[in-house]
Structures are given as structure tokens and as C-alpha cells.
Amino acid sequence: MQNLEEIIHLQENPSNNDSSNNAVQFLPDTQKEKKDTRIDEAIVELAINETGFGKFSIKVTVICFLIYLNISLCTVSTGFILPAAACDLKMNTVDKGLLSTSFFIGSCFSSVISGFLANLKGRKWTLTIFLFLQGISDLLQAIVPNYSTIMGLKFFSGFAATGQLITIFTYMSECLPLKQRKSLLSLMEFFWISGHGVASVLGFGIIPLEFEIKNENFSFRSWNLYILICSLPGIFLGFWIIAFPETPKYLAEMGYREELLKVLVKMYEENLGKSGKEYIEILMSSENSLLIKVANQSHEKLADLKKNSINEKILFELKQMGTVLKKPHIKNTFLACVTAFCVPAAYFALYLWLPEIFQRFAEFEAKNKNEKPNFCKVSREIYSSLSTTDHLEDPFGCDRTIDTDVFINNLLLCASCVPAIFPVLCLVHRFGFKILLASMCLICSAVVFGIYFVNSSLQNLILLCIYLPLISVCITITFALFVSIFPTNLRSSGVTLTSFSSRIGAAFGNIIFSYLIDEYCFQFIVLVTLLLVVSAVTTMLIHER
């Protein structure tokens, strides 16, 4: 708040800022407009705080939490259908990897495009489009019988899910008062874990069901029903968010003062249950000329900001992108991109494949009750013996049944993640982002390497219950770290590059499992371990501002 009031003070007292005003006179028109826009954003921050916290704020918080849960559900559900749909879609391990990787390829494109769309068309518009696109794409996956078509739909689902992920934090933060904003944003991680839990519960209740609706060109089984139900939250939330307004900060940035005032009045009325006239009076009596200007100029629409906005924003983003790729920022950008690649690669190398891993252990132990299964031995003996008669007769596992322990183990993993959220908040303040991230990456690398030596499904589950909470926290910390290492004016471009790198890393981590786990399991474990070690090293080399 102090910085905001300093900006207001300079604007209200131009005599104290002559040099700044003289400099502005020689700026191009577009840059003058951007300076005015920054002041509008500062003022609207104060105006939002005046609306208080109440019903409207709670509604925004709830829908943002649910959208984040929907993103998690959309992502995690892919892992549960891989073993269940293998027979109908005739998928081997590599085919499963390609199917889930198409989701992350779509997310790579979205990481570049969605931020631009949110700035150009608005946060609400972007979220609405992406929610419907993801929901409809997932819904169609439940009814189309073709592997290639489902892969294409997975691409659009990943594109839309990542668009939601990048936009939802902005929408939530721009609609909440500053006092409650950080604490509510910090709870978002809980709903990612909740999405994993919901996916596990739905899978436990639906996928083991034995029914089939079939004709010559159509087949509908339990895994189709599972996808269908998982697609519904996206469509429901798409309809619900239509009833929400655009964020005040976006309206201020685009110069829509009439719409801005309407939204602020709506927020005030719903939050405090008072008349909108009282809110106008608060602004008018604030002794702040710029807040008074917001109240008075309700019919002003700065249409000039829309002229050539697409071309200007594209050129501006490209220029900013070039700046972070030059000295003195290039070193930090490179190190951040390497970390952004390695951590998600290690995360998704196992995350989406957890149901497959648990299913493999269940099958091995059912056939070899007296043997102690090693992680790599399970994969090698069940899926790499291509010459066996059983495999030739049933190459896609059509006679397999999904063990219920798969879903129970995933629920235990979700439960193990919850306690890790709260201590991290204290540790960050004590050690900082860099040390905490590097330390956790090294611990994760040791845990992953230890998976090679376990000789029971229980030991494997215990190590995964240690690994998943730690690597999940690493993912969250990387977002916070990358925001802090770039200057404010280059932050958007820096985050775009690191987000793109993280999506590439996620796709890489997902695909290496499918290609290496059957015949090169040890090499797979070593590779994931090295990814985590490299991320720890590059994190420590990053220079914090």
C-alpha cells in the first residue's frame, strides 16, 4: 500500500515531480497511455480495498478454487484411464505415453498464447473460452472410439487446461482485497491435491464397474463414463463464470471507466450489503483526486487504447522477450529455464503414471506371491517379455482388471501431500526460495534413486509418499522464485519463457517413462535423479534480485 500511495502522491502533486512530468512530455503517445494505465491500476487497487471482503469475494474465491481443482482433475484423470482403456484403444506402453504427452504438447502452445489473450480480451473471457474448450474436448473423448481422435482432443484439453492455470491466479488476485489475497492464493495448492483425490475417488467408484454399450461403430464402457463425469466440472464452471464480472484492473487498464465503476459498486454491495451510493460517497469524500475522478468519469471510455492494440502488444511482447535474452538477464533466464524444465520433467515422469505403477505391482504380486518385487523387475518381467505366449495372446491387456489398491494408494498419496503444505510456508521465510528448492530437489533425487532398491509394493508406496509431497512443493516454489528474479517490467516475458520450458519438461518427463520403463528401467531412474540434481545446481546459481 505504501508504494500505491506514493504513486498517488506524485500524481496529485506534480510540482514535486517536475522532472518526471517533463520526461513524459517527450514519450510516444502509447507510452504516455501506459503510464496513465499504471496509475489507474494503482488507484483501482485502493478502490478494491474499499469494497471490503464478503459475499462477492467468497464467490470469486470458491470458483477460482474449483477451477484449480478442475485443472488437477483434468490432468490426473489421464493417468487413470491409461490402464483401463488399453484394450479398447489397443495401446502398448509407448502408445499410452504418446496419448498423455499430447496433453502436454497442447500446454506448450497455451503457455505462450494464453497470457497474451488474457491481456487482450480479458481474464474472464479467456477463462470462459478455455473452460468450455477443455470440458467439451474431454466430453468428446468419452464418446469417440478412435485413438488418434482422442489424442487430438487431448491436445486441445491440455491447451485449455494450461490456459486456465495461467489465467486463474491473475483473475483471483485482481478481484480480492490486498489483505486477504496472499493467504487465499496460498491455499490453491490444497485444491490441486484435492483434484487428485477426486480423480481417485471417482476412479474407485466407476472404473471397476463391468458394463458395455456396444455396436459396430461405438463402444462405451466404465472408463468412458469416468471421462464423461470428469469433463462435467469444466462445462459447469464455464457457465457459472459467465455470471461473474471482468476484473477491475483489466477494465482500468483498457480504459473502461463506466464498466469499472459498475463492477466496484457490485463488489461493495455484495461484500458489505450496503447501497452502492454509499460507495460512491466514500470515493467522493476520500480527498484523493484520482479516486474522485474514478467516481466522476463514469461515462468516459478511452477507446484510443484499443486502436492498433493487437499490433502494439505483439511488438511490445517481442521486444520484452528479446530483452530477457540479452545481458544482463540472459544468465538468469537460462538458469531459470533449465530449472523450469528439469523439475516438471521429474514430476511428470512419475505423476501421471502412478496408477500404472500400482497396477503393475498388483499384477506381479498376484502371480508371484512368494517373491519380493523390485520396481524394475516388475516392469521387466510383466511388460518386456514380448515373446511369452500370454503376451502374444493378449498384447493390450484385455483380460486385465484394475486392482482397487490402485485407487486406494493414490488417495494415500494425496493425503501425504496435505501435511507438506503448511510447514513450507514457515521454511520459505526462514531459508528463502533458492535454498529450500535446491534442498528439496536433492532430497527428491535421493528418494527416486532409492526406488530402485525397494523390494515390496509397500516400500514403494512409502517412498512415493515422501517423493510426491516434496516434488509438488518444488513445483509451487519454482513459480514463486521465477516471479521474483525478473524485474517488474520484464516479469511477464520471463514467466512466459519459464512456463514454456516447464511445459516442454512436463512432456519430456511423461514420454521418457513410456520409452524407458519396460527395458531400460534403471536408466530411467538415473535420468530422473540427474534431472533433480541439475535443477538443484541451477537453482543455486540463479541470482535473486
Q: Are the beta carbons of 196 and 414 closer than 8 angstroms?
A: yes
> Cell numbers of 303, please?
477507446
Q: Which three cell numbers stand for residue 248?
A: 477491475
Can you tell me the mean pLDDT for 180-200?
84
147-151, 424-428, 535-539 — which one is most confidently predicted on average? 535-539
* Per-residue confidence band for 395, with pLDDT thresholds at 50, 70 and 90: low
Q: How far is CA 268 from the centre of its chain?
A: 30
The pLDDT value given to residue 231: 95
Please tell me the predicted confidence (pLDDT) of residue 133: 97
The residue ranges of DSSP E strands in 139-289, in sequence order, are: 212-214, 219-221
- Higher per-residue pLDDT: 397 or 101: 101
Kindly indicate the confidence band of residue 17, based on its pLDDT and cuts at 50, 70 and 90.
very low
Closest CA to 196 of 353, 73, 344: 73
d(CA 139, CA 299): 43
**Contact indicator for 209, 222 with CB cutoff of 8 Å:** yes
Question: Which has the higher per-residue pLDDT, 463 or 369?
Answer: 463
Which conformational region is residue 313 in: left (phi greater than 0), alpha (psi within -120 to 50 degrees), or beta? Answer: alpha
pLDDT over threshold 50, residue 14:
no
What predicted TM-score, i.e. pTM, was given to this entire model? 0.80
3-state SS, residue 51 = coil
User: Distance between CA atoms of 153 and 40, rounded to whole angstroms?
Assistant: 41
What's the full length of the chain, in residues?
545
Q: What is the DSSP letter of 246?
A: P
For 501, the 3-state DSSP assignment is helix
Torsions phi, psi for 297 (to 5 deg): -90, 50
Q: If you average pLDDT over residues 199-224, what whole number do you get?
A: 86
Distance, first Cα to last Cα, the chain: 21
More confident residue, 407 or 344: 344
Give the pLDDT score at 152: 94
User: Does position 15 have pLDDT exceeding 60, yes or no?
Assistant: no
**Sign for the pseudo-dihedral over CA of 476, 481, 487, 490:** negative
Q: For a pLDDT cut of 90, what percent of the chain falls above it?
A: 30
What are the cell numbers at 159? 491447451
Running DSSP on this structure, what letter comes out for residue 303? Answer: G
What is the rounded average pLDDT of the residues 69-92?
86
pLDDT for 28: 40
pLDDT tens, position by position, 473-508: 888 788 778 877 877 567 667 878 888 899 899 999
* Nearest-angstrom CA–CA distance, 178 and 49: 7
- Which three cell numbers, joined as nine digits, stand for 7? 504513486
Q: What pLDDT is attached to residue 127? A: 95
Residue 128 near residue 241 (C-beta atoms within 8 A): yes
22-57 pLDDT, tens digit per residue, is 333 333 444 444 444 443 566 778 888 888 899 999
- Alpha-carbon distance of 256 to 253, in angstroms, equals 8
DSSP code of residue 307: T
Segment 275-293 mean pLDDT: 76
C-alpha cell at 119: 491481456
Residue with cell 461473474: 244
Confidence (pLDDT) at 303: 43
CA distances (Å), origin 116, targets 121, 191, 246, 395, 396: 8, 26, 16, 45, 42
Of 482, 481, 480, 496, nearest in space to 114 by CA: 496
Taking a C-beta distance cutoff of 8 angstroms, is the pair 99, 82 a contact? yes
Q: What is the mean pLDDT of the chain?
A: 80
Amino acid at 334: F
139 confidence band (pLDDT: 50, 70, 90): very high
- Express each pLDDT in 297-312 by its tens digit: 544 444 444 444 566 6
Q: pLDDT grade, residue 84 (50/70/90)?
A: confident
Determine the Cα–Cα distance for residues 192 and 195; give it in Å rounded to an integer.
Answer: 5
H or E stretch including 128? helix 123-141
pLDDT confidence band for 399 (50 / 70 / 90) = low
